[in-house]
Every structure is written in structure tokens, then in C-alpha cells.
Amino acid sequence: MLKLGGKIIRIHAVDVHRGLTLLKVSTSRNLPEILRREMAYLVSDQQIPRGFAHYLLLDKHRQLVELLPSDSDYSILPNDYSYIGNGDIVRLSADRQSISVLFRASSPHNSILVTEQCNHYCLMCSQPPKAADDSWILDEIESLIPLIPKNTRELGFTGGEPTTNRERFLKIISLTKSYLPRTAIHILSNGRSFKDPAFAEKYARIELPDAMIGIPLYSDDPTLHDYIVQAQGAFDETIQGILNLKRLGQKVEIRVVIHKLSVQRLTELCEFIARNLLFVDHVALMGLEMMGFTRANLDELWIDPIEYKDTLSKSVGILAKYGMNISVYNHQLCLVNPDIQPYYRKSISDWKNEYAPECQSCTKQRECGGFFASGVKFGYSKHLVPF
């Protein structure tokens, strides 16, 4: 598990009023001077180019501080941050006490948190909502996007509910199209904002070349779905949102988190999707993450995946017969039936995944998605069997 944010060990801020909070990291010694002024240099040896706005050093290199140009801004970071590399984008907090890594150039899975506000309160939410006004994040994103490398393959937008502030959301999306025209965009949303045809049309008019909106649907029973997301009328609006988006030719993925509540009617849900939403572009069936609210609702949610493996097979089978695109994420290989194989994805974001002690001797570790770190820590199946 990678540490993405936390306290800086020591920062030497010469000029706190310079107001530079977002910085792109460079390890290049040959950058033109004019570009160095806006970037941070990651020090790893004695050759330290001058003229950078800020210098980053890991604790293990702290002795190199003496070699820095005088009057330099610098930060000493705990060794946990040794993964930082060229092209990464970091935010130094306004009080210069802490650092956040917002973008990792070497990772295939970058996600931008748009807001922590949400109109749902899912029992298993891995990013529990906060009501406070966090529109400063939107401002920051508008500064962040121009810094993201143009060759980035994929970029995600998450929350909370990213479309909470509709106009700002559309602005960010337009900005993304403008700065990153070749990047595949994945937006996680409950889809309800798109029930408004005008909003859906504005989104469609942006004409993103390669974008998909991932929308959760937890049951074919509206009452059960509304309960899981803790919002009255959610199912009805989500469906309308999906229909509007598809009418406008936008790509939509349906996401289902499988737990004790949603597994009850999982096959019915898949029949419902196949019969009513055949035109969606992808269906993702996902295992439970032990983070956030999940632990508070464990009694209602936790079920050992080995108990539902046949239901999962049946459900996938239905979608497959109807020719839909399917992926099964976040499950361990030994806990699913072999017929899932064509749809199994080794998928946990690299900053989250690990393996349990039982997996030491397993010959299929490479093909397996492993676990969320939260899973290893807080609970996982008692039926792991190494191959």
C-alpha cells in the first residue's frame, strides 16, 4: 500500500507567500531554466541543478540539503514517499506542513477526487461523504489538469458525487478534453444528475472522444437499491439518468458491488440489466472493499465470497448469454468458479493491493488480483486455498 499523503518531516520555506501549492516533479537535470521556475526537483544525488521553485528530498538523503542552492525552498519527506518520480504532481499544503501526491505518472490508475459531497450515503461507501463546502478542490483541479502529462492513458474522476456542482463539473470535463484529448476518461457517478435532460445534453455536447460513466446499480428491487445507497427515489432517477445518457450516445458502465444485501437478488438484477439495459457498454461486478462505512455495517454486508460463487457464476452467465461486456473485479481467484475466468480482471489499484499470508505458496499469485490492503487488515474469506 502506497502512502499518498501526510506530514512532511521538515520544510524550509524561504518564501511562503509565493503561493505555489501545486508542483510538478522533475528528475531532469537538463530542463530549460524557464521551466524549472514552476517545478520541484527530486534530489537523489549530489548533482543538483539550480533554479527550481522547490526541492524535494527523502529522509535518507537529508545530508544533501547542504548542497542545495542557497535560498531554496525545500521539503524533507519520510522515506514512504520514495515512489515519487518524474512527472508526478504534488500539492504542498498552504501551511507548508504536509504533502499530497495528486498524480503519479508511473501509475495506470490515477483518479481525481472532485468533491467529498454526495447525495447518497451508501452502506459500503469507501469514501464517506462530508457536507462541508470543498469547492477549493474544484479550483485546484482546474490548475491540476494542465499539468497532467499529455500521454496519460487513463484518468478517473471520483467523489463523493462528482456532478454535485454541475457547472463546475462540466467545466472540468471540458478542460480535460482540451488538455488531454487522447486520454480515456472514467467518471464514477450515481447518474441521478443526468435525469435532467438539459444537463445530460450539456455533457454530451462536450463530445469527449473516449469517456465512460460508471453508474452503480445494486438491485432490480428499487427499495433494496434505495436502502443500500440510503437515498429515497435513487433507483428511479438513476435509471432515467442512464437512459438519457444512452439516448445521447454516451458510454455507460453499470457497477455492482457484491455483498450480503446485493447478492440476494443478484441474478434478478442481471436479468433486469440484460432485458432493460442491454445497450450499456459494460457491466462490472465487484467485491466488497473493507474501507469507510463498510466496517460500520459489517454485519449486514459481509459475506464470504465462497458462499456466493455459484450465484456469481449464474449471474455472469446470464449477462454472457445476452452478449454483454462483463468484468469481475476485486475477487480472489480461489474464491470464484473457473467459468468466471474469461471475465476475471486482476484489478485492484496498485496503491491498494496486497496478499494474505495464506497466499505465500500460491502458484497463481500473478494472475490473482490479491486483496485490498483494507481487506488483509480487517477481514477476508476463511476459505482461501492456494493453487
Report the interface residues with another protein, using CB under 8 A. 121, 123, 128, 219-224, 226-227, 230, 232, 235-236, 239-240, 243, 246-247, 265, 268, 272, 275-276, 278-279, 293, 296-297, 314, 317-318, 320-323
Nearer to another protein among residue 174 and residue 240 (C-beta)? 240
Query: Of 226 and 253, which has the nearer Cβ to another protein?
Result: 226
Collect all residues with Cβ–Cβ distance below 8 Å to 84 and sequence separation of at least 6.
Answer: 25, 42, 56, 77, 90, 101, 104
Shortest distance (Å) from residue 84 CB to another protein: 34
Stated as kind and residue range, the H or E segment containing 342 is none
Closest to another protein by CB, 332 vs 374, is 374
State which residue, 24 or 120, has the beta carbon closest to another protein: 120
Radius of gyration of the chain (CA): 23
Nearest 5 degrees, angle CA 143-CA 149-CA 151? Answer: 140
The burial of 342, by beta-carbon neighbours within 10 Å (0-12 exposed, 13-18 middle, 19 or more buried), is given as: exposed
Task: Name the residue nearer to another protein (CB basis): 106 or 223.
Answer: 223
Question: What is the smallest separation between the CB atom of 234 and another protein, expressed in angstroms?
Answer: 9
Cβ 128 to another protein shortest distance, Å? 7
Residue 318 beta carbon to another protein: minimum distance, rounded to whole angstroms: 7
- Least distance (Å) between residue 135 CB and another protein: 23
Q: Which amino acid is at 317?
A: G
Nearer to another protein, 41 or 293 (CB): 293
Q: Mention every residue, 6+ apart, whose C-beta is less than 8 A from residue 82.
A: 58, 60
Q: How far is the CB of 307 from another protein (least distance, A)?
A: 19
CB neighbour class for 108 (10 Å; exposed up to 12, middle 13-18, buried from 19): exposed
Tell me the CA distances in angstroms from 105 to 177, 226, 327, one per residue in order.
19, 38, 26
